[in-house]
Amino acid sequence: MKNNQHLKQLFELVLATLFISTSGALGKFIDMPPPVTVWWRSFLAAIFMYIFCRYKKISLRIDSKRDLFTFIISAVFVGAHWITYFYALKFSNVALGMLSLFTYPVITA
């Protein structure tokens, strides 16, 4: 049972890594402006997250105004991050974009 749970977690990790690693190559070669690309990615992610939360019976309710404010500010910063990331991919190469995306924990530590 424990080994099965471990394999499931490894599969989820590999799947998540695959999804985030394809963003660089796909972002470079998609012929849409970066804000449009980010909007569609966010829209599709919101749909899938909603379906997942409904399936797992996770509440999406935000109870306090403070939490709502934090949610909105976080969304603005994440959106700005993704837009600038896709602009960086358009203006430079994929290797530089991926390096800057995956080395920020080392730089900020």
Q: Which residue has the higher pLDDT, 104 or 85?
A: 85
Query: Could you tell me the pTM of the whole model?
Result: 0.74
* Structural domain span for residue 85: 2-108
Q: Which residue has the higher pLDDT, 21 or 5?
A: 5
User: How many domains does the chain fold into?
Assistant: 1
State pLDDT tens for residues 21-80: 788 878 888 889 999 999 998 999 999 999 999 999 999 899 899 999 999 999 999 999
The answer to whether 86 and 37 have CB atoms below 8 angstroms apart is yes
CA 7/CA 42 separation, integer angstroms: 29
pLDDT at position 64? 92
